Amino acid sequence: MSIHPSAIVATGAVVPESCTVGPFCTIGPEVVLGEECNLISHVVVDGRTRVGAGNTIFPFTSIGVPPQDLKYKGEPTETIIGDGNSIRECVTISRGTVGGGGVTQVGSGNLLMCYVHIGHDSQVGSHCILANNATLAGHVTVEDHVTLGAFCPVHQHCIVGAYSFVGGGTIVTQDVLPFSKTSARRENKAFGINTVGLERRGFSPERIEMLKKAFRLLLVSKLNTTQALEKMRQIEGEDVATVVKFIEQSERGVIK
């Protein structure tokens, strides 16, 4: 096991021999690390936190720290991190709260760039990119394969749909449609589907064309949302059905 002499690993922490814990790291007594994690230096992992295998955590990151919620009174809530994430400098991931379900969770294969903040009780899927200074308030859900641009704050209880791309500097106060390309020029708008991202993820031309057809009905036609949904239900394919279901279940409304 490679633990630098300046690191502090509390009694009770589980640190496999395959892990590397660099200078001035602090690991709390209820932390469980997976195999082959690399804590480069000055990393704090605290609380009831489980970190999966193969994660690289860069300097000045804090994981499992108490939530920035005045209602939190030290309850034993959790943080769960998946496998193979790259968590860059100064990222903060707060543990959950009793009122929000008790768990903050991050999936696998994500890139969290510098100064990303994941607030209490947020749920981040897998294979996402959160660029520099993207910040999630409490209770945010980010589904799989999302790219969230730099300096994007996401309001509490918003959902960012799977395979969506959110441009830098967009203030997200409503749900982001799955597969969409959403950005703020003068105001937040969806600008069709995330074609480049979907192609990179292996979507066939046929799947992409079906989504384009659905988004034209939703965004470009003169139909209102209810009328557009009626037309969209007639388009074949699981992807369009996913969009329809997402809109129907949205509590905050969606960005169009």
* Per-residue pLDDT band at 184 (split at 50, 70, 90): confident
Q: Does residue 169 contact residue 187 with C-beta atoms inside 8 Å?
A: no
- How far is 92 from 71, CA to CA, in rounded Å? 19
- How far is 13 from 82, CA to CA, in rounded Å? 18
Q: Does residue 2 contact residue 21 with C-beta atoms inside 8 Å?
A: yes
- How far is 42 from 4, CA to CA, in rounded Å? 11
Q: What's the pLDDT at 190?
A: 85
pLDDT at 217 over 70: yes
- How far is 55 from 68, CA to CA, in rounded Å? 25
* Domains recognised in the chain with CATH numbers: 2-142 (2.160.10.10), 198-249 (1.20.1180.10)
Q: What is the pTM of this model?
A: 0.94
Q: Does residue 176 contact residue 155 with C-beta atoms inside 8 Å?
A: no
Show which residues are catalytic: 120-121, 138
Cβ-in-10-Å burial (0-12, 13-18, 19+) of 160 comes to buried
Q: What is the pLDDT of residues 77-118, one digit of tens each?
A: 999 999 999 999 999 999 999 999 999 999 999 999 999 999
Q: What is the pLDDT of residues 6-63, one digit of tens each?
A: 999 999 999 999 999 999 999 999 999 999 999 999 999 999 999 999 999 999 999 9
Phi (first) and psi of residue 238, to 5 degrees: -70, -30
